[in-house]
Chain A
Amino acid sequence: MAAQPKTLPADQPSYLEGGGILGWLTTIDHKRVAVMYLVSALFFMALGGFEAMAIRVQLWRPDNHALSAATYNAFFTMHGTTMIFLVVMPLLLGFFGNFLIPLQIGARDVAFPRLNAASFWLALVAGILLHLGWIRGGLPDAGWFGYANLTERYFTPGLAIDWWVIGLLVSGASTVLTGLNFLTTIIAMRAPGMTYMRMPMFMWSLMVTSILILIAFPALTIGLIFLLFDRFFGTHFYVASAGATPILWQHLFWLFGHPEVYIMALPAFGIISEVIPTFSRKPLFGYPMMAYSICLIAFLSYGVWGHHMFATGMGPVADSAFAITSMLIAIPTGVKIFSWIATVWGGSLRMTTAFYFALGMLIEFTVGGLSGIMHASAPIDLQQTDSYFVVAHFHYVLFGGVMFTIMSAFYYWWPKITGRMLDERLGKWHFWLTVVGFNLTFFPMHFLGMWGMPRRTYTYGADMGWMRLNQLETIGAFILGIAFLFFYFNLFKSVASREQAPADPWDGRSLEWSTPSPPPAYNFATIPQIRGRDAWWILKYGHAGSRGVAAYMSGQAPSQPQPSQPASVEDIHMPAPSIFPLVLSLGVGMMGLGLIIDWYRIILIGAAVAVLSIVGMGFEYADFGEESHDPEHAPSSGGVDVRKIGMWSFIGSECVFFASLISTFIVYKSRSVSGPGPQILNIPLTSFSTFILLMSSLLMVLALAATQRGDKRWERIWLGGVIAFGLIFLGGQVYEFTSFYHEGMGLTTNLFSQSFFVLVGFHGAHVAIGVLWLSVLLAAAMTGKLGQSRALSVELAGLYWHFVDVVWIIIFTLVYLMQAVPGA
């Protein structure tokens, strides 16, 4: 291995140095944001682990009462919710994703650094909101899937589910913003020469995961919004007696929930595809097939949500369709497993802890995959569903597959992130204890499940004969707990040590290893030129293929390129820190809090804070002149500005949001038990406001044209016109809503009214946001801050405005016009 500098040159401060507490609170450096994700995730991981141990203690012997049934419910709910939303996703995306995306694609930061910081603070606020039940109202206790109608206020009074709904809404917003940011970054900010087919596989997986996030999370958001309306405003979206179907929640939840499994699994697949080639000293086997199977898994993951619902009685046809698509997913997954094995095959292996965990993942994940194929078959699933067999299955996937990968990633990237090595000897202890503890805990669950032990039930009878295996599992859980103590101790020991890690301790293949450990704030002094896959390996050894191995075997020192030199560090322009992301999240947190403790003043203050900080961020963006990127910096985006890509991604996500609302409306409009139906709609009035909205789109086009040619006067006039027309449209909507109210159709009257008001109301809210946005632009135009060079700002607002108009045309057709067609 090549000699590496053991210590950092004094003139090259790492990203960890300087700034103090305020520096961390206002940071928008992706690496610092990543470290903050790490700290919060480590805390929540300990908490979720504690809950798991408590569950296992309760199940130690039959008819045990270590936990009450209510506490048990709260613990398994919070264990699932915490581990998925506050541990696994923050670690994979927030921590490893955030830290490594810019480093692996050769960029200096993510596309929207402020948004990135906001994502973190929102995630933290969500975590706190989810746990405020400790203080008031009790912990959420309806399962991480929160099946309706158990979550209705009638069945679960109190604040517990309220915390859960609000917490998950905020967490979802944070995740969608992250997905938006990552997707844009990977599309637009790759270093010159880094084509898609040269990206590290981790980047491939994160790109596809981001798309999954953008399309999957809106379904959850809609499901939660309906639940929120049911609990806070008295609607009946999931109440069967009002004609609604609680199954709607399951459809929405699993339309999100199954892609969510891949949102957690795909990044793990990507990480494994980085670790295994490094420690096998071979390029990844079958790179195009690996990328293809990631895409295929994403493609298929939207057609399989029904396999979580076989027991709801969807009928033989739908069951068969979902069974077939679910089984199909085994094919691309199998391709990945075999490609990893082929990568290891014949490599010159170095048995580090990171590699141990990667190999462990291959085995444990395959076990989970095999039981997964069993669930795909509807008749078998009917036997297994809601039994411990399922618990065994998803722990083999999520712990065996994802957690093992996360551990592997810790041992692999920790030197890069902190500049300190993790102890390998402790690491091996950690690994073996994890393997023993994990299998001891979860393997017997397969048998218990087949013997009929149900999930989510706080105890079992002595005559069932389940005690022996349950005790074995509890012992396993404690061994697993000890393994985690080793892990935490190892992290602590490494951070406390003073020994500097080398820049490239594993003889790595991708670009992050070309930077010092830990990297400087700007990552790369000069943006690297990429000449192939395994970019850093090629720079070191000239070719990605076997030459590196040959050079290594013969002990011949490769021609060693220096880690990127700080040639002109003073010229590197990094965006300035900002307090707004933190303030924004506090505002959002206040809104949630106010809604739950029913204190409307706090909601209003929170909303004002949030809106003002968004506006503040907007002006900050314009003021720091970031529109003009380094010319060397944005060659892969095809000349499209990152903000435009971000806007398009956002619109894509919004499409699913409105599609879910519209589908619900179509399903529910004629299921009302009583009260007025679609005939109440006033088509002439709405036709007029539709026309107004369409005209406003035309004015928007004119406004953009005026801005682009630098015509200040008409820019203001047209922008003002758009705002005026938007206001007229909103006025029409207010008039319409009040007249409905007077005719006896309020929000909670029946299914038609509530799905109508929620759909049309959310569209109205979008128009209102558009009007607000345009008003800010108009204010900027009045003070002369807009102008030709900032035409893109107008274009972005225009994109949004046109999108909102197109959505309205669809709503107008489906909601208003269709009811005039007989038989619709």
Chain B
Amino acid sequence: MDIFGEHPSIPIGIAILIAIYLGACRAAGRKPTRRQAMWFALAMGAILFTQTELDELADARLFSMHMLQHLMQAFVIPPLILLGTPGWMLAPWMLSRPIKPIARLLTNPVIAFLIFSAVFVTAHFPPIFDRMCRDENFHIFLHLLFMASGMLLWWPILSQIPELPRLSYPAQILYLFLLMIPMTAVAAPITLATRVIYPWYTEGPNGWGLKAIDDQVLGGLIMWIGQGTYLMIVFTFIFFRWSQREDCDIPVPPAAMTPELRVLRSRRVAGS
């Protein structure tokens, strides 16, 4: 894998991100936890993989790999970055005076959801998608846009800043459930189409020698089943965390118990 080959901007960009991360650590005088550092490293690895190896496959007219790339950019990289970036690193500038109202608006679940859906659905419209395949700069721009809107999308689930809070667990589940609607709206027509939708893929040989239409169906399925399965796994994590959090039976205090004790008990309930 020649990481400096075609796109030197990728390793340079990753290096800048790492530099900012370390710089922010130094500026705040704090260290991320081990787990956060691990998530961040994973995120950088994912970016590197998506934008080099996977990108080469996508450029070899492999529509299916291109879809996998988009899915990584929207569903894998942003959550990893959010998990890997401690709240104290983002808080100073996200809560600073001019940015806070904007951040609050953009991370509002309804707005974030709409922005992401709009970006994702629009980008897969044939004229726009086809232009993306032909225009490298536009392509890079769209990929960055996927990641940026993906950050917004995952914010209500993984926010690290209490001032820009997460949704409650049941709302998170509903949010993910609703997310399947725009994702299916993109994936289903691609999978069920009977002809090649994006002309660019018919204009050259397929990287793996697949027929363009088969490759398109495969890509649609990666998007459809892939996102569904992925969201289902995330939903499972959220559900059981929720059930653990709420899952406690409190025995009724016997009638003889003194009133003070009762108060204490119910406080504990309220706090748990």
Give the B-binding residues of A (Cβ under 8 A): 193, 195-198, 211, 287-288, 291-292, 295-296, 299-300, 302-303, 314-315, 317-318, 321, 324-325, 531-534, 538-539, 542-545, 559, 638, 652, 655-656, 659, 663, 666, 806, 818, 821-824
Contacts and interface: CB of A to CB of B under 8 A. Distances in A.
B243 A288 contact: yes
Interface string B44-63: 00000000000000000000
Given A295-B173, A824-B125, A544 B130 contact: no
Contact of B249 (A296, A538, A638): A538
A296 B127 contact: no
B85 interface: no
A314 B191 CA distance: 11
Given A321-B224, A652-B178, A197 B217 contact: no
Contact of A292 (B130, B178, B243): B243
A291 B249 contact: no
Contact of A531 (B235, B239, B255, B269): B269
A531 B251 contact: yes
Given A196-B170, A299-B180, 10 more contacts: A296-B232, A299-B232, A299-B235, A315-B194, A317-B191, A321-B221, A321-B224, A638-B168, A656-B181, A821-B125
Interface string B189-201: 1011010000100
Contact of A542 (B128, B251, B269): B251
A-B residue pairs, 9 tightest by C-beta:
A532-B249, A197-B246, A288-B243, A195-B246, A531-B250, A823-B127, A821-B127, A317-B217, A543-B251
A303 B181 contact: no
Interface string B111-125: 000100000000001
B118 to A, nearest CB: 9
Contact of A321 (B127, B191, B240, B246): B191
Contacts of A652: 178
B259 interface: no
Contact of A823 (B130, B228, B236, B247): B130
A350 B9 CA distance: 73
Residue with the greatest number of chain A CB neighbours at <10 A, chosen from B217, B224, B252: B252
A204 to B, nearest CB: 11
Given A318-B192, A324-B225, A531-B269, A538 B243 contact: no
A823 B128 CA distance: 10
Contact of B252 (A197, A296, A299, A539): A539
Contact of B177 (A288, A299, A821, A822): A299
Given A303-B228, A655-B181, A824-B126, A197 B247 contact: yes
Interface string B153-181: 00000000000000010100110011011
A197 B242 contact: yes
Nearest to A662: B185
B132 to A, nearest CB: 13
B98 interface: no
Interface string B216-260: 010001001100100010011001101100111111101100000
A532 B248 contact: yes
A659 B189 CA distance: 13
Contacts of B170: 196
Contacts of A288: 239-240, 243, 247
A211 B251 CA distance: 33
B219 to A, nearest CB: 11
Given A299-B232, A318-B191, A196 B246 contact: yes
What class of interface size applies to chain B in its complex with A?
35 or more
Contacts of B255: 559
Contacts of B191: 317-318, 321
A663 B186 CA distance: 11
Given A195-B246, A292-B243, A295-B239, A659 B254 contact: no
Contacts of B177: 211, 299
Contacts of A666: 189
A638 B174 CA distance: 17
Contacts of A321: 191, 221, 224-225
B246 A198 contact: yes
A193 B266 CA distance: 10
Contacts of B192: 314-315, 318
Contacts of B178: 652
B204 to A, nearest CB: 18
Residue with the greatest number of chain A CB neighbours at <10 A, chosen from B128, B194, B251: B251
B126 A542 contact: no
Contacts, number: 98
A315 B168 CA distance: 41
A73 to B, nearest CB: 32
Nearest to B125: A824
B156 to A, nearest CB: 15
B127 A822 contact: yes
Contacts of A638: 168
B249 A659 contact: no
30 contacts: A197-B242, A198-B249, A288-B239, A292-B236, A296-B236, A299-B177, A299-B235, A315-B194, A317-B191, A317-B217, A317-B221, A318-B192, A321-B191, A321-B225, A532-B248, A532-B249, A532-B250, A532-B251, A534-B249, A538-B249, A538-B252, A542-B251, A543-B251, A545-B249, A559-B255, A655-B181, A659-B185, A821-B125, A824-B125, A824-B126
Contacts of A533: 249
Nearest to A197: B246
A470 to B, nearest CB: 40
A170 to B, nearest CB: 27
Contacts of B240: 288, 292
Contacts of B236: 292, 296
B262 to A, nearest CB: 11
Nearest to A666: B189
Contacts of A655: 181
B74 to A, nearest CB: 19
Residue with the greatest number of chain A CB neighbours at <10 A, chosen from B114, B128, B247: B247
A303 B128 CA distance: 28
A543 B221 contact: no
A305 to B, nearest CB: 11
Contacts of A823: 126-127, 130, 199
A251 to B, nearest CB: 10
Nearest to B182: A659
Interface in B76-123: 114
Contacts of B249: 198, 531-534, 538, 543-545
Contacts of B185: 659, 663
Contacts of B254: 542, 559
B202 to A, nearest CB: 13
A652 B194 CA distance: 31
Contacts of A295: 173, 235, 239
Given A193-B269, A288-B243, A317-B191, A542 B252 contact: yes
A806 B113 CA distance: 13
Contacts of A292: 236, 239-240, 243
Interface string B121-158: 00001111010000000000000000000000000000
A314 B240 CA distance: 37
A195 B168 CA distance: 13
Contacts of A659: 181, 185
Nearest to B250: A531
A321 B190 CA distance: 13
Contacts of A806: 114
Contacts of B242: 196-197
Contacts of A822: 127
A809 to B, nearest CB: 9
A283 B181 CA distance: 37
Nearest to B214: A317
Nearest to A638: B168
A296 B240 CA distance: 12
A532 B266 CA distance: 12
Nearest to B198: A823
B252 A531 contact: yes
A317 B215 CA distance: 11
